[in-house]
């Protein structure tokens, strides 16, 4: 039995990420702001792999932008390694669904870009970049340009580009969402083995509950918006190393899936009903 763990693990200042009673409002064209998140409490330990699921539009990406320092909370606090976030958070890697690699640079130059920007000597950077390119399985493709690569290969470049900076925190917003099912499973396996190398704390946003359970130590379910918050938190105590395609058939996996889906389904139904109502009102 994997009972949902209530709330975050009780105010530990050694957390990699700690969001406390976070509310985020956005200005609208009307007089009232839109409250995307309210009283959100999330804590992620160093080295923990945390997946966040929730209905569409509930505030998953917004949560990541708060941790990255791209947005400020309207109330509450966002801390990274004990420091209040103000401005872009250092030591944080970010991977989106769309490719963020530079189309005019080769694989080698893309992977080298971060350390070069920080002023690391060129020779050191090139040698490290080649190492990371090899680790992500792209040895021999150093001189290719992004348009000469498949979608999965471009994701590997993006991974190497992030991991070469040895981020203590890696924020991933549906990074494999645009890939076909098989490539996606392969990339998930590769992500897990690369994550083991440097063990950053990961927050991985996904719509895919199977993907969330297969990858994570913890799955957080958010409620439907507006004013989304944490509905439940589940510990995923499946043994590691895991093979994403195989772990899905594990009895324990199926039990976890049923429990988490039970929590998620209500929120997905609520979000769907709201969208349908708003669309009917707009059309009336």
Ligand X SMILES: Nc1ncnc2c1ncn2[C@@H]1O[C@H](COP(=O)(O)OP(=O)(O)OP(=O)(O)O)[C@@H](O)[C@H]1O
Applying CB under 6 A, which residues contact ligand X? 26, 34, 36, 54, 56-62, 225
Q: Which is nearer to ligand X, 80 or 271 (CB)?
A: 271
In the complex, the smallest distance separating the C-beta of residue 125 from ligand X, rounded to whole angstroms, is 34
Q: Which is nearer to ligand X, 30 or 283 (CB)?
A: 30
In the complex, the smallest distance separating the C-beta of residue 24 from ligand X, rounded to whole angstroms, is 8
Those residues whose C-beta lies under 8 Å from the C-beta of residue 208, and which sit 6 or more positions away, are: none
Q: Which is nearer to ligand X, 113 or 205 (CB)?
A: 205
In the complex, the smallest distance separating the C-beta of residue 184 from ligand X, rounded to whole angstroms, is 17
Q: Which is nearer to ligand X, 60 or 135 (CB)?
A: 60
Main-chain phi, psi angles of 8, to 5 degrees: -75, 165
Q: How far apart are CA 122 and CA 210, in angstroms?
A: 41
Q: Which is nearer to ligand X, 174 or 190 (CB)?
A: 174
Q: Which is nearer to ligand X, 51 or 111 (CB)?
A: 51
Q: Which is nearer to ligand X, 24 or 186 (CB)?
A: 24
| Runs of H (alpha helix) within 10-136 | 60-68, 107-117, 122-135
Are 76 and 22 in contact by the 8 Å Cβ rule? The answer is yes
Rg of the chain over Cα atoms, rounded to whole angstroms, equals: 19
Give whole-number Cα distances, 99 to 188, 234, 242, in Å.
Answer: 16, 30, 26
Q: How far apart are CA 283 and CA 170, in angstroms?
A: 41
In the complex, the smallest distance separating the C-beta of residue 134 from ligand X, rounded to whole angstroms, is 33
Q: Which of 63, 99, 64, 65 is nearest to 175 (CA)?
A: 99
In the complex, the smallest distance separating the C-beta of residue 160 from ligand X, rounded to whole angstroms, is 25
Give whole-number Cα distances, 26 to 13, 22, 33, 66, in Å.
Answer: 29, 13, 5, 13
Peptide bond into 241 cis (omega under 30): yes
In the complex, the smallest distance separating the C-beta of residue 223 from ligand X, rounded to whole angstroms, is 11
In the complex, the smallest distance separating the C-beta of residue 152 from ligand X, rounded to whole angstroms, is 21
- The DSSP call for residue 146 is G
Neighbours of 104 (CB within 10 A): 9
**Chain CA centroid to CA 89, Å:** 15
Q: Which is nearer to ligand X, 164 or 227 (CB)?
A: 227
Q: Which of 7, 19, 12, 6 is nearest to 203 (CA)?
A: 19
In the complex, the smallest distance separating the C-beta of residue 8 from ligand X, rounded to whole angstroms, is 19
């Amino acid at each position: 039995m994997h009972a949902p763990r209530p709330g975050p693990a009780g105010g530990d200042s050694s957390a990699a990420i700690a969001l406390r009673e976070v509310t985020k409002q956005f200005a609208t064209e009307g007089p009232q702001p839109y409250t995307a998140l309210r009283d959100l409490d999330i804590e992620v330990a160093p080295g923990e792999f945390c997946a966040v699921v929730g209905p569409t539009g509930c505030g998953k990406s917004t949560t990541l932008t708060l941790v990255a320092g791209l947005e400020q909370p309207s109330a509450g606090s966002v801390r990274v390694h004990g420091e209040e976030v103000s401005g872009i958070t250092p030591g944080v890697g970010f991977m989106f669904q769309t490719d963020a690699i530079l189309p005019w640079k080769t694989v080698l130059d893309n992977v080298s870009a971060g350390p070069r920007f920080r002023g690391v000597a060129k020779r050191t950077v090139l040698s490290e970049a080649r190492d990371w390119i090899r680790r992500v399985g792209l040895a021999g493709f150093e001189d290719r340009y992004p348009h000469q690569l498949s979608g999965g290969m471009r994701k590997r470049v993006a991974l190497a580009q992030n991991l070469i900076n040895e981020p203590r925190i890696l924020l991933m917003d549906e990074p494999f969402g645009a890939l076909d099912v098989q490539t996606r499973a392969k990339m998930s396996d590769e992500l897990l083995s690369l994550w083991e190398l440097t063990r950053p704390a990961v927050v991985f946003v996904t719509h895919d509950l199977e993907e969330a359970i297969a990858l994570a130590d913890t799955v957080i379910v958010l409620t439907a918006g507006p004013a989304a918050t944490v509905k439940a938190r589940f510990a995923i105590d499946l043994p590691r190393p895991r093979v994403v395609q195989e772990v899905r058939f594990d009895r324990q996996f199926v039990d976890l899936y049923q429990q988490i889906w039970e929590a998620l389904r209500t929120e997905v139904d609520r979000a769907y009903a709201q969208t349908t109502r708003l669309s009917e009102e707009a059309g009336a």
